[in-house]
Amino acid sequence: MKTSKDGYITFNQEAHEYHDIYGNQYQSVTTALKKRFPFESQEVAEKVSTIPSSIYFGQDVDSILEQWGESAPCGTGLHEACEKWINTGEVAAGEHEHGCNEFAKFFETLCGREKLLSEQIVYDERIMIAGTLDILQDEGYGYGLWDIKTSRVIEQMKLMQYSMQLELYRRFAEKNLGCPVRTRGIVWFEGYFRNKQSGFRILRTIDCHREVNALIENRKIEIESK
């Protein structure tokens, strides 16, 4: 079990459920965004197998789906390795050692490990949505938010989805922590699921205020209609 800094929200990792101190279940940020960005894996696999520029061109659809299923634990493992480094300073040996080392070098240069917190729960009780930040950076005059991604591709639609995720986190964090969030970035380990020796690049979020405002208004309507 993990709890928010103020103890108001508890996250059950096994069930992947957020609850407040009164037992009310909160929708996760991931679930809220999936409603706007549904991923039909079969349909997408069929499409990318026919695109000559795709790395999946000519592959069997079942084979593509199998590869995608194998990439999920890879991303989880990297997240856990980076979280361990933030919390203890230790770089885990094994398949994620290179990726974690690259991650550690970047953040040591940027701000130092002592300025980082991992897996911080943020929420908004008005719309009953909660989420967990990968990285919260103390900038002294405010905070920075960073999210680790191992997605195969981040095209414009996916970048919008991730930007909305971080915008929701920004609004929740500012409300919960009482300080402005000045930096938001995506730490993208591009190609990591194919090559663990690959590095990462930083993606900046794009403007999505209108889209997030619409999501919040729709969520309010959803709650009121219950």
Domains in the chain (CATH in brackets) are: 27-224 (3.90.320)
Q: For residue 114, give the DSSP letter.
A: G
Q: What mean pLDDT, rounded, does the chain reach?
A: 89
Q: What is the pLDDT of residues 113-148, one digit of tens each?
A: 999 999 999 999 999 999 999 999 999 989 999 999
CA dist 200 → 101, 134, 204 (Å): 11, 16, 13
- Spatial neighbors of 191 by CB under 8 A, at least 6 apart, are 152, 198
- Find, among 149, 131, 133, 118, the residue nearest to 33 by Cα: 131
Q: Identify which has the larger pLDDT, 61 or 35.
A: 35
DSSP letter, residue 113: G
pLDDT given at position 36? 84
| DSSP states of 73-106 | HHHHHHHHHHHHHHHHSPPPPSTTHHHHHHHHHH
pLDDT digits (tens, 9 = 90+) for 65-84: 565 554 445 578 899 999 99
What backbone torsions phi and psi does residue 20 show, to the nearest 5 degrees?
A: -90, 180
Percentage above 70 pLDDT, the chain: 88
Residue pair 103/192 in contact (Cβ under 8 Å)? The answer is no
Residue 189's pLDDT is what?
A: 93
Grouping H, G, I as helix, E, B as strand and the rest as coil, residue 20 is strand
Rounded to whole angstroms, the Cα distance separating 171 from 168 reads 5
* pLDDT score of 105: 97
More confident residue, 195 or 213: 213
Residue 52 pLDDT grade (very low, low, confident, very high; cuts 50, 70, 90)? confident
Nearest to 188 by CA among 223, 155, 140: 155
Tokens 């969030």 correspond to: 181
